[in-house]
Homo-oligomer: A and B are copies of this chain.
Amino acid sequence: MPGTESQGQAPDRGVCIRPVRGLPLLAPGDDLAALLAAGLDREGLRPESGDVLVVAQKAVSKVEGRFVRLAEVTPSARAIELSAATGKPAPLCEVILSESVEIVRTRPGLVITRHRTGVVLANAGVDASNVAPTEEPETVLLWPLDPDASARRLRGELQARYGRAAPAVIVSDSLGRAWRLGTTGQAIGVAGLAPTRDRCGERDLFGRVLQATVTGVADEIAAAASLVLGEGDEGVPAALVRGASWTASDAAGLPDLLRPIADDLFK
């Protein structure tokens, strides 16, 4: 077994993912930790040591007020260029550029950038669905300013409430992949857990030392949570994941999950 530094129960009983439902529509300044705790209560869920609370990026962004009204955005020359290349509205391109450090690929209908956090993704995470009522058209929602900091803040508030049983926190979004169709839940901010799990040095079934087995455990947990998180009209902003094995860390964050640019073979 993974050893003493891993948290979470052994996989004997498996892993369960419970939706945290029934939260109100979220607005800037809402106390997300309190709302999530109330949601956990309503579900009869009491956090246990080893749990991970996965919170949808949109929920975090909304309480952090990361809305932008496109009518108030003045596109730069570069945004106008990007708009011509992609067919996306120039104000939206301006917002995407303002959230990015690099344009990775473009083509009509598609822009893939390196977000300022280092994540490579479509539209720099700028999203127009589930953002605001249709009476407020053209309002988009950006990622949190610092998703790791958001996760840490949320975890701190949960620690004040639950003490040592407070869950680790993952902020997740549904992201595309280079060669595969369909999005999967992936971690964009973490607090309390190491997002990768290095199994080098552990032994395989035949006693051979594993050479290069690093699992992206935070992404696997985010993907699992995505099976219950709502993107449509379910309105499920969070899920509690119980039973996964992971390594506790107060220092780790999203950068541990991102391939360094120098190693990027697909820039």
Contact surface of A with B, Cβ cutoff 8 Å: 1-2, 11-19, 25, 105, 107, 110, 112, 119-120, 129-134, 174, 177-186, 195-197, 199, 202-208, 210-211, 213-217, 219-221, 223-224, 226-228, 231-236, 239, 243-245, 256-259, 264-266
Q: List 24 A-B contacts (CB under 8 A).
A: A1-B233, A11-B227, A11-B234, A14-B239, A15-B224, A129-B213, A130-B206, A134-B206, A174-B215, A177-B216, A178-B259, A180-B186, A180-B216, A182-B196, A183-B213, A184-B216, A204-B232, A210-B232, A213-B231, A213-B232, A217-B227, A220-B223, A220-B224, A227-B244
Task: Select one of B14, B217, B219, B266 contacting A178, CB under 8 A.
Answer: B266
Tell me the bound Cα distance from A14 to B239 in angstroms: 9
| Closest B residue to A197 using CB positions | B182
> Helix, strand, loop or mixed for chain A's interface?
loop
The count of identical subunits is 2
Tell me the bound Cα distance from A182 to B193 in angstroms: 14
Are A11 and B107 within 8 A (Cβ)? no
| Closest B residue to A132 using CB positions | B206
Are A265 and B107 within 8 A (Cβ)? yes
Known: A14-B16, A245-B227. Contact between A220 and B259, CB under 8 A?
A: no
Tell me the bound Cα distance from A105 to B131 in angstroms: 39
Taking the closest CB of chain B, its distance from the CB of A227, in whole angstroms, is 5
Task: Select one of B178, B227, B258 contacting A224, CB under 8 A.
Answer: B227
